[in-house]
Structure 1
Amino acid sequence: MAACGDLKERRDLRIYSNLDDLTTELAEYIACISEISVRERGSFAIALSGGSLVDLIGKLSGTPFLWTVDWSKWHIFFTDERAVAKNHMDSNYKQVKDAFLSKVPVPPSHVCSINDNVCVETAAHEYEFAIRQLVRVRTIDVSVSKDCPKFDLILLEMGPDGHVAALFPSHPALRIEDNWVTYIIDSPKTPPERITFTLPVINSASNVAIVAAGEDKADAVLLAIAESGKDKHKFNACSPPAQMVDPADGKLVWFLDKSAASKLDSDDAGSSQQF
């Protein structure tokens, strides 16, 4: 089990022999970032995706985390959301609420979800405005190098195509730099209308964790990690979005199971940790 003080490397690649070990260490990692953030700032601002990632953080709702984490200081945001009603089965909010929030004592007022009663464009603008208000009162920290929120932790799951949040390969949303939150109406996965954090926001976080599990992620993991050390100015819209995640003043941790990491060689993996 990793200690909070071990979070030093700017990029940390962790490979686990099985999914159970991965989820255990992921819970410990999140709890550590929470503890550090509450100690240093008085609150913990975390943004997360939905989908199967919700199941992967489930151990946080059990012992010892249920009793040791200061849930009252958590503020939860969504890196992306489907433009559906909050009670719709595709809603990230509903998935997170049913599988996680209903089991931990995070104050409901500390969960920032989109307005599901407006069009997706308006929902994106309103979500960005809500985040800006919380940056003003320092519930969310602010990046000193650019006009962006500095979340304590952004938690992402990478898709088989290398997408993160609702940033898909070759999509124009990858090039947006002036907005914190944008929207898309042509997602390659249903439903087509979604909001998403932009890359500048993701890359302004203090900590970013990307989770990938399963053999169907192996090709995308190889491309994202093997190419991630190259000059970012050479990236183009065809590069997998996960490859473009590179926190400017923060730390990036990859959580991989053996299947997802199966195509990495020793040079790609570098100084990865095997568990």
Structure 2
Amino acid sequence: MYTSTQPIVYSFQSTSNLSDSLAEYILKAQKESIDKRGRFTIAISGGSLPKTLTALIKKSGVKHIFYADERIVPLDHEDSNHKLAYDTLYSHVPIPSDNIHTIDLSLQNDLEELADAYEKELIREFAQKDSARFPVFDLILLGIGPDGHTASLFPGHELLSENDRWVAFIEDSPKPPPRRVTLTFPVINHAARVAFVATGVGKAQILHDILDTPEIGLPAARVRPVAPGQLVWFVDDPASAEVKLATSDFKL
């Protein structure tokens, strides 16, 4: 049985301060990864994260991006995480399209095959470089939903107990659209660093449930990277109002 790390929760007065500190954190993570292994691998989810990363990626020169989850819709559809990332991020920074690892929608009629194809994308990136049972991302950036879900891992869903696959599909997401693919907990929890971003008073109660009462078992509370992996939350003061663990003392 592996040991997991405890979360560090940083709370900021404004989203601007949060974004600046998140940028510092990612730049440091990138430098350490490149110095140690000569590469930096990152996976992102949707929501507000791509917009937060625009200035950062212009500065850092991140070149390869994977998705923590994606909706099975056309890549230019309003529900697509890739569409959101393109509009808010890729259209503003010079990242070659071949280095943005999207799902293969030609396989959308067979979600198992589509998930397998995305898993093979990960295998091509990681298997020849790492000997671990699961890929080790240098950083995975996640958000949370009002129900405590993260990526496309939802409360009470059978995917919460998936222990073998790197990428899995879901056909009955409680949040539309229903068909999605997602990284599984073993992949997320083998990352060197996982960073959550959550803002706004609407996240206050669910953050309390996730961070102060993890025994409830909400999906986001199950993100606990294998030691010596690091788990950090970047939140604003309205979101952290009910969280006992939160601190304003940001340190790299």
Give me the TM-score of the superposition, normalised by structure 2.
0.90
Aligned with residue 153 of structure 1, among 117, 139, 155: 139
CA distance in 2, matches of 1:210, 1:111: 21
5 Å matches for 1:156-195? 156-195=142-181
Task: Provide the secondary structure at the position in 2 that maps to 1:96.
Answer: helix
Aligned with residue 93 of structure 1, among 82, 97, 103: 82
2:69 corresponds to which residue? Answer: 80
**With CA pairs under 8 Å and 6+ residues apart, which has the higher RCO, 1 or 2?**
2
1:50 corresponds to which residue? Answer: 46
* Structure 1 residues 226 and 157, CA gap change in structure 2 (3 angstroms): same
**Once the two structures are superposed, what CA deviation does each residue of 1:9-68 show, in whole Å capped at 9, x if it has no partner?**
96321000111111111122112211211221111100000122222223315xxxx34x
**Is this contact kept in 1: 2:171–2:180, CA < 8 A?**
yes
Q: What letter is aligned with 2:18?
A: L
Larger CA deviation: 191-200 vs 127-136: 127-136
1:232 corresponds to which residue? Answer: none
2:243 corresponds to which residue? Answer: 264
Measure how far apart 1:149 and its partner are: 0.3
Measure how far apart 1:213 and its partner are: 0.6
2:213 corresponds to which residue? Answer: 227
* Structure 1 residues 224 and 142, CA gap change in structure 2 (3 angstroms): farther
**Is this contact kept in 1: 2:169–2:180, CA < 8 A?**
yes
Measure how far apart 1:125 and its partner are: 1.1
Give me the TM-score of the superposition, normalised by structure 1.
0.83
Say if 2:202 is the partner of 1:216: yes
1:121 corresponds to which residue? Answer: 112
CA distance in 2, matches of 1:251, 1:260: 21
Measure how far apart 1:99 and its partner are: 1.1
CA distance in 2, matches of 1:206, 1:31: 14
**Is this contact kept in 2: 1:75–1:111, CA < 8 A?**
yes
* Structure 1 residues 142 and 255, CA gap change in structure 2 (3 angstroms): farther
CA distance in 2, matches of 1:39, 1:261: 34
2:217 corresponds to which residue? Answer: 239
Q: What letter is aligned with 2:148?
A: G
Larger CA deviation: 27-36 vs 178-187: 27-36
**Is this contact kept in 1: 2:54–2:92, CA < 8 A?**
no
Cα RMSD (Å) of the superposition? 1.8
* Structure 1 residues 10 and 34, CA gap change in structure 2 (3 angstroms): farther
Q: What letter is aligned with 1:104?
A: V
In structure 2, runs of 5+ residues without a counterpart are none
2:31 corresponds to which residue? Answer: 35
**Once the two structures are superposed, what CA deviation does each residue of 1:68-119 show, in whole Å capped at 9, x if it has no partner?**
x243xx3210000000111111111121122112222223222111001212
Aligned length: 243
**Is this contact kept in 2: 1:80–1:194, CA < 8 A?**
yes
Task: Provide the secondary structure at the position in 1 that maps to 2:105.
Answer: coil
